[in-house]
Amino acid sequence: NAGVTQTPKFRILKIGQSMTLQCAQDMNHNYMYWYRQDPGMGLKLIYYSVGAGITDKGEVPNGYNVSRSTTEDFPLRLELAAPSQTSVYFCASSYSSGEQYFGPGTRLTVT
């Protein structure tokens, strides 16, 4: 099993550009999550999904959108990137409220 995979690993965006961060898991987990981690801080939940077609906002959803058309994939869309979105983004998955398995992260810089 590959576990949770994220692409790209690194990305530099200009202010106002858009992009999609990809996340996939092959563990047949029903729950998936997107977090951001700012330097020296803990993770903050952006969005989560409890199954295909169902998404919910987390603590810091503004500026982001998600969709969940399949169990395996949970892409995160940034529209009109801003410097405040410079962060490391982690995707995770879990079976119900159990242990969350994290991907390796995507380091995003917006300049």
Chain residues that interact with other proteins, rule: CB under 8 A: 31, 33, 35, 40-45, 48, 50, 56, 58-59, 88, 90, 92, 94, 97-102, 104-105
In contact, 31 and 50? CB cutoff 8 Å: yes
Least Cβ distance, residue 98 to other proteins (angstroms)? 7
Helix, strand, or coil (residue 85): helix
**Shortest distance (Å) from residue 63 CB to other proteins:** 18
Kindly tell me which of 2 and 14 has the beta carbon lying closer to other proteins. 2
When the beta carbons of 18 and 109 are compared against other proteins, the nearer one is 109
Q: Can you tell me whether residue 9 is helix, strand or coil?
A: coil
How far is the C-alpha of 4 from the C-alpha of 72, rounded, in Å? 9
94 contact partners, CB below 8 Å, separation of at least 6: 29, 31, 32, 33, 100, 101
When the beta carbons of 10 and 12 are compared against other proteins, the nearer one is: 10
